[in-house]
A and B are shown apart, each in its own frame.
Chain A
Amino acid sequence: MKKIIKFVWALFFYIFLFPVTILVIVFGPLMTFTDLLDVYKLGAPRLGMGLGVIAFLGFILFLSMKYHSLSWIYRKFPVLLPFFQMCFVSFIVMDLSLTFANLWADRMIIGKTAAIGLSVLTILVGRAFLSYWYYKYPISYKMVR
């Protein structure tokens, strides 16, 4: 019975929750980056996805990595695990960067130079974090079979 529930939950997860989550997590950073460029090019703010939504997507991603019944895709394609993690971290970084851009374009709390500085700094810190992370925890397959 427990197995059936697990199977149905996994099926629901892989049909309804996971595909959308992954689509947004993979393409989100790119879309947010184009939004960021638009903000500085046009001087008009852009609403990002919002960190609340990103947190929710991150939670779904975390579930897929934590529970064995849901991590089928990583057993098939192990490289997806660090790839999604990388996209997720980039997404948070890009959204923060866009928030700083909007502080200038929408709310005029900070100047344009300060906003550009903060945006670039955020992206650089995020990038440095990823470099450090994969230096500390390199991606390599386990030869199990």
Chain B
Amino acid sequence: MLKKTKKDLVHDTDNQTGFEEEDQQPEVIYHEHSHRKSVFFGTILAVVLAIGLSMMSGSYTSEGSAEEVVANRISKSTLAGETPFTDETNAGITAKDFEVTVGDSGGDAKMLIWDFNSEDNDEVQILVNGQPLKEKLILANNPAAISIPVPSTVTVKGLKDQGGGISYAVKFPNDKVTYYNVVGMNAGNTYTVRPL
């Protein structure tokens, strides 16, 4: 018993020298230490989960710098809604048409479209086989989901440019591929969508 008290005393003097001052302070509320501990373990859990999830899902950064990923045009690890650039730049890419092969689910496929640099409310029109599916779509950093038939030809037509060109990214979640593209005013990019 006496030994224990001695040990505690030594421990207390140790604490005074270091930053561990909290033990000498009375608790503000009951179970303060427990509440604090839960925050600590929550932080550890979040770190572990963050590392685990990033290994599982990744992001565009696993393919190189923002400049490289956008210049390469096609990315397999971009998460929908990711914005490699925060200002109105696009690695100098030019308008391009793509052929897309998707594993369709019952003749339909999902297409996600978003603004991959600064959100400046550029407007586009989405046409499927020449027929307008969305008369006006304001591009945002948050992706918009569009259901498209497979096979089909999807055209993204530029309606309004708020400066810096209309740059956007299109992702087909069925085959997890993202295409970085730009479109001019009243011009169009086509995506020829074919089933696997």
A and B interact: yes
Residues of B within 8 A of A44 (CB): 80, 112, 142-145
Of the four ranges (under 10, 10 to 19, 20 to 34, 35 or more), the interface on chain A belongs to 35 or more
Contacts A137-B35, A144-B26 known; A99 to B53 CB distance under 8 Å?
Answer: yes
Residues of B within 8 A of A99 (CB): 53
Are A52 and B50 in contact, CB atoms less than 8 angstroms apart? yes
Q: For the complex, is B47 an interface residue (Cβ under 8 Å from A)?
A: yes
- What is the distance, in angstroms, from B179's C-beta to the closest C-beta of chain A? 15
The CA of A88 and the CA of B82, in the complex, are separated in Å by: 25
Are A106 and B80 in contact, CB atoms less than 8 angstroms apart? yes
Residues of A within 8 A of B25 (CB): 68
Contacts A55-B47, A140-B30 known; A62 to B39 CB distance under 8 Å?
Answer: yes
Residues of B within 8 A of A82 (CB): 29, 35
Residues of B within 8 A of A133 (CB): 38
- What is the distance, in angstroms, from A83's C-beta to the closest C-beta of chain B? 10
Are B40 and A47 in contact, CB atoms less than 8 angstroms apart? no
Q: For the complex, is B95 an interface residue (Cβ under 8 Å from A)?
A: no
Q: For the complex, is B42 an interface residue (Cβ under 8 Å from A)?
A: yes
- What is the distance, in angstroms, from A60's C-beta to the closest C-beta of chain B? 9
Are A65 and B39 in contact, CB atoms less than 8 angstroms apart? yes
Q: For the complex, is B131 an interface residue (Cβ under 8 Å from A)?
A: no
The CA of A58 and the CA of B45, in the complex, are separated in Å by: 10
Are B36 and A66 in contact, CB atoms less than 8 angstroms apart? yes
- Apart from the given pairs A45-B143, A54-B50, A66-B22, 11 other A-B contacts in the complex at a CB distance below 8 Å: A47-B79, A51-B50, A58-B39, A58-B43, A62-B39, A65-B35, A65-B39, A67-B21, A85-B35, A106-B79, A139-B30
Are A96 and B49 in contact, CB atoms less than 8 angstroms apart? yes
* Interface of B (DSSP majority class): mixed
Partner of A81, one of B28, B57, B79, B143: B28
Are A47 and B81 in contact, CB atoms less than 8 angstroms apart? yes
Query: Digit string of B134-159 for contact with A (CB within 8 Å is 1, else 0)?
Result: 00000000111101000000000000
- What is the distance, in angstroms, from B79's C-beta to the closest C-beta of chain A? 6
The CA of A102 and the CA of B143, in the complex, are separated in Å by: 12
Q: For the complex, is B3 an interface residue (Cβ under 8 Å from A)?
A: no
B176 and chain A: residue at smallest CB distance: A107
- What is the distance, in angstroms, from B86's C-beta to the closest C-beta of chain A? 14
Partner of B42, one of A69, A75, A79, A92: A92
The CA of A140 and the CA of B27, in the complex, are separated in Å by: 11
Q: What are some 12 contacts across the A-B interface (CB < 8 A)? A: A45-B81, A55-B50, A65-B36, A66-B22, A85-B38, A106-B81, A106-B171, A107-B57, A107-B173, A138-B31, A140-B29, A144-B26
- What is the distance, in angstroms, from A89's C-beta to the closest C-beta of chain B? 6
